[in-house]
Structure 1
Amino acid sequence: MAETVTHNVVRQLTYIRQALSQNKKSLGFFIGAGCPLSVRITDPKGNDAGPIIPDVAGLTACIGERLTAPKTQAPSHWDRLVTLLKEDGKRDPNIEDILTAVRALRAVAGKGQVRGFNYAELEELDRHISQNISQLVDKALPTANTPYHNLALWLRGLERVFPVHIFTTNYDLLLEQALEESLAPYFDGFVGTKAAFFDLGAVENESLLPARWTRLWKVHGSINWRLDSNGNVVRSDKVDSDSRYLIYPSHLKYDQSRKMPYLAMLDRLKEFLLKPGSVLFLAGYSFSDEHINDVLCRSLASNSSGMVYAFIYGKIDDAKYANARDCALKSPNLSLVAFDGAIIGRKLGGWYFEEGTQLPDMESILIPPRDTNADEDRQECELRLGDFLQFANLLKSLSGNVRGEHEE
């Protein structure tokens, strides 16, 4: 059981700023599906039309609306599969649960049927889901002043001893767009121009590349990856909506995953976390992927000098962060940072703000107590780093720092 305490919000924010402001440690970012929610789009009248790309729940809802049959018709393949998953105990299956089930069933269907589906029906459902994913996430950042650009400019602005690693489970191309528009060089495991090919040798020896090149590892695939006629993975400058095997590859066998980029990119995450003194910042990730959670927890258990800061959107006791709390309560070097509190050193507690403390450049990130006339020296407050927009604002505030500030 976690010990309930209170955490000094200014002290923790100072630690985070120091980690981001020096260049002699291995720094990394993990960009999850919640990050695109920070980029809003507007309709022709200038009204907020929602996020540029929905999160996993939103993606599931959008595709479900497209593939669900009208009530006057027989249930669609989508309807039947969702019903099947709910009968098997998945109360609210998301798009990744559904894709996993489709591909697992298809792998054993052969010329017969499995759970009421034949191979052709499962193949058709896989194709429709993947095409809709590509359509929904194939978006471009609307301006050059987004949280992604703030991250890219921060990456470009500091001369580094070690390269920064970015890991993402997202299939979109928002990171690539922001890095290229900000003239921030990066390496993503592919080499070439017209149809860049995946070079496992270069990935496994990426330490030989310049430290100023950010490493970008897309552990769930990308909408611009495809298979060429020889069965090799290539990265195209065009999105191929039929490259369904290269999105969320949970169905692949070990030898297939090894041939393709996925296991190699998970290996990068494990290798990064095992580096002495490494610091990883997680944003927009709800700890819903058991494989990634296992890599995080096991690696941190083996490397007491490594550190992970996981920023979550909302309150620390939100039911959807149960896996995140479980990981943080087991790992003393994983700090789970929510709006109203945190788990730090396996201790759960709320934030407090000391009377008289000022951080003039952090108004949108750190929200001090509203009752300035309260008698208490310590008052509750909010730290909004779980909002990717605010985390990117912190990076923006640090981009102009003199190189080497807070170096150890």
Structure 2
Amino acid sequence: MPFAAIRGASALVDEIELEAHLASLLRLENIGLLLGAGASVAAGGLTMIALWAEFVRAWPQEAAWMVEHGFIDAEAATPPTPAIPNIEHLIDSLEIALSDWTRQMSKFEENPIDYAPGEQELEQNLVGLKAAKAALFRTVVSAALLRQEWWLSSSGVEADDAALASQRTILQKLVSARQPGQASPWVFTTNYDLAIEWAAESIDLQVSNGFLGVHTRRFSPQSFDLGFRNTQARGEARFGVYNIYLAKLHGSLTWKQENGQVFEVAAPLAHQRITTFMDERDGSELGLMVMPRAAKYMDTIGYVLGELFRRFAEFMSKPQSCLILCGYGFGDEHINRLIRSALLNPTLQLVIYSSGFNGDPTDANLPPALRKLLSLKNPRITVVGGGSAHAYIDSLARHLPDPLIYDEDMRKFEKALREDERDSQNASLAQDALP
């Protein structure tokens, strides 16, 4: 698919024009990323379409049980390219059925004399339902593991690991483009994986993710109000940026809840918990993670996640801010509402990388929330598409300007402006000197 990009109602001619636009946006006071599942594909993650296909392949009996009991259509359980259902509604249906069937079973247990012929069938259905729900949750977690060796390595991810090259490039470009006195970049993500943390650690970039502590890392939101500086630096270098802020809006594989508090554990220890979770078959959930279901809005208003969403909304309300979306499929309505509301900020700029965008703002195949944004024809909204060659995270890494080259070009531009201004003044003085 050829390159396609649009800003407001005007199409961008080519990638050069897009890169120039991004270069100007990086000069704004506040820069942030919103990353979805598509941003981790190169590192081994799965999109929702690929995740469902993996579920059908790895758990055929559970998929067949869902078909038999009317939770999904037969087409949704037919490999290798099953029709993807609405996974959020599916999980909601499973949980409603689980609650209802459990209530019915409790009646049988309370009144064993009132034996009903359907009791044994109901018990079997409960076993099948719990197995199907557990299999689906384990597929979601498995998709976020990325690579097993990264979890077990005592030295972390190597700096030359190609799987995280795009993440490293983006972080380096965003940090290097910050000017003296400007805030560190924000990274907001709906992913549970550790792609951003591992990429930042591989280049010795500090990550402020809301947790404080050395051996016991407890969620302390005030840490988002702190920064790093180089005490040895002089001049403008004292105001350089040495960290990023990371807000994982739907939780993380390394978070756990205990005694009313939320802690972050080291990757090897978290991997042990994940392994135990993957071996269970009771449909339980892992740590603090918001599973893909329609009720997830309620899951994100409590402590920790509610604070992270507040920071997300606060970022978009700040003057001179730019939010770049990549790999986000607009499937989270609670996030979509925040983005639409944030457009009331007249200085907010949005740049959206969407692999499904072909240049037509009215394309029915686009997510409804994205079509609504395109229909505004707002010059502060830029959408980049053109398929995998132009709209994935590697494209964003390529399109973001190299700060050093950009600064050199700016110096040339400013020099040219000064020369033009001096020439104009000289011409004006010469005109005034005429008799």
- Of residues 390, 396, 400 in structure 2, which corresponds to 1:391? 396
Assess if the C-alpha contact under 8 Å between 1:144 and 1:181 holds in 2: no
Assess if the C-alpha contact under 8 Å between 2:323 and 2:349 holds in 1: yes
- Of residues 314, 337, 358 in structure 2, which corresponds to 1:271? 314
What letter corresponds to residue 85 of structure 2 in structure 1?
Answer: P
The answer on 1:311 being equivalent to 2:341 is: no
Provide the secondary structure at the position in 1 that maps to 2:264.
Answer: strand
Q: How far apart, in 2, do the equivalents of 1:276 and 1:220 lie?
A: 26
- The 5-angstrom pairing of residues 1-400 of structure 1 reads 6-9=11-14, 10-20=16-26, 22=27, 24-39=28-43, 52-69=44-61, 75-77=64-66, 80=69, 82-83=71-72, 92-106=84-98, 110-112=102-104, 122-140=129-147, 143-145=160-162, 146-160=165-179, 161-202=182-223, 206-210=224-228, 212-228=242-258, 230-237=259-266, 238-239=270-271, 240-241=273-274, 242=277, 243-244=285-286, 246-249=288-291, 250=293, 251=295, 254=298, 257-300=300-343, 302-314=344-356, 315-317=358-360, 319-330=365-376, 332=378, 333-339=380-386, 385-395=390-400, 397-400=401-404
Provide the secondary structure at the position in 2 that maps to 1:34.
Answer: helix
What letter corresponds to residue 232 of structure 1 in structure 2?
Answer: Q
What letter corresponds to residue 183 of structure 1 in structure 2?
Answer: D
TM-score (norm 1): 0.70
Offset at residue 126 of structure 1 (A): 3.5
Offset at residue 258 of structure 1 (A): 4.0
TM-score (norm 2): 0.66
Q: How far apart, in 1, do the equivalents of 2:220 and 2:68 lie?
A: 40
Higher helix share: 2
Q: How far apart, in 2, do the equivalents of 1:124 and 1:195 lie?
A: 34
Offset at residue 187 of structure 1 (A): 1.0
What letter corresponds to residue 184 of structure 1 in structure 2?
Answer: L
Provide the secondary structure at the position in 1 that maps to 2:72.
Answer: helix
| CA offset digits 1:138-192 (Å, max 9, x no partner) | 1247843411121232244345511211111111111111011111111111222
Q: How far apart, in 1, do the equivalents of 2:326 and 2:89 lie?
A: 22
CA 1:173–1:298: 2 relative to 1, 3 Å = same
| CA offset digits 1:362-400 (Å, max 9, x no partner) | xxxxxxxxxxxxxxxxxxxxx9541211211233x5154
Higher strand share: 1
Provide the secondary structure at the position in 1 that maps to 2:247.
Answer: strand
CA 1:296–1:331: 2 relative to 1, 3 Å = farther
CA 1:70–1:55: 2 relative to 1, 3 Å = closer
**Structure 1 unaligned blocks of 5 or more:** 40-51, 341-382
Assess if the C-alpha contact under 8 Å between 1:59 and 1:95 holds in 2: no
Larger Rg: 1 or 2? 2
| CA offset digits 1:245-266 (Å, max 9, x no partner) | 6332554684x64444222222
Q: How far apart, in 1, do the equivalents of 2:67 and 2:215 lie?
A: 36
CA 1:174–1:18: 2 relative to 1, 3 Å = same
Assess if the C-alpha contact under 8 Å between 1:85 and 1:93 holds in 2: no
Q: How far apart, in 2, do the equivalents of 1:3 and 1:259 lie?
A: 36
| CA offset digits 1:339-374 (Å, max 9, x no partner) | 29xxxxxxxxxxxxxxxxxxxxxxxxxxxxxxxxxx
Q: How far apart, in 2, do the equivalents of 1:404 and 1:107 lie?
A: 63
What letter corresponds to residue 139 of structure 2 in structure 1?
Answer: N
Q: How far apart, in 1, do the equivalents of 2:319 and 2:175 lie?
A: 24
* CA-atom RMSD in angstroms: 3.7
Counting aligned pairs with the same residue, the percent is: 19
Assess if the C-alpha contact under 8 Å between 1:57 and 1:94 holds in 2: no
What letter corresponds to residue 256 of structure 2 in structure 1?
Answer: R
Q: How far apart, in 2, do the equivalents of 1:338 and 1:81 lie?
A: 37
Q: How far apart, in 2, do the equivalents of 1:119 and 1:131 lie?
A: 18
Q: How far apart, in 1, do the equivalents of 2:96 and 2:261 lie?
A: 22
**Structure 2 unaligned blocks of 5 or more:** 1-6, 77-82, 106-121, 148-156, 229-240, 278-284, 415-435
Q: How far apart, in 1, do the equivalents of 2:254 and 2:87 lie?
A: 19
Provide the secondary structure at the position in 1 that maps to 2:375.
Answer: helix
| CA offset digits 1:97-150 (Å, max 9, x no partner) | 43344345545655227xx89766554444332223222321247843411121
Offset at residue 281 of structure 1 (A): 0.7
Provide the secondary structure at the position in 2 that maps to 1:263.
Answer: helix
Q: How far apart, in 2, do the equivalents of 1:136 and 1:226 lie?
A: 19
Assess if the C-alpha contact under 8 Å between 2:71 and 2:93 holds in 1: no
Assess if the C-alpha contact under 8 Å between 2:316 and 2:345 holds in 1: yes
CA 1:277–1:4: 2 relative to 1, 3 Å = closer
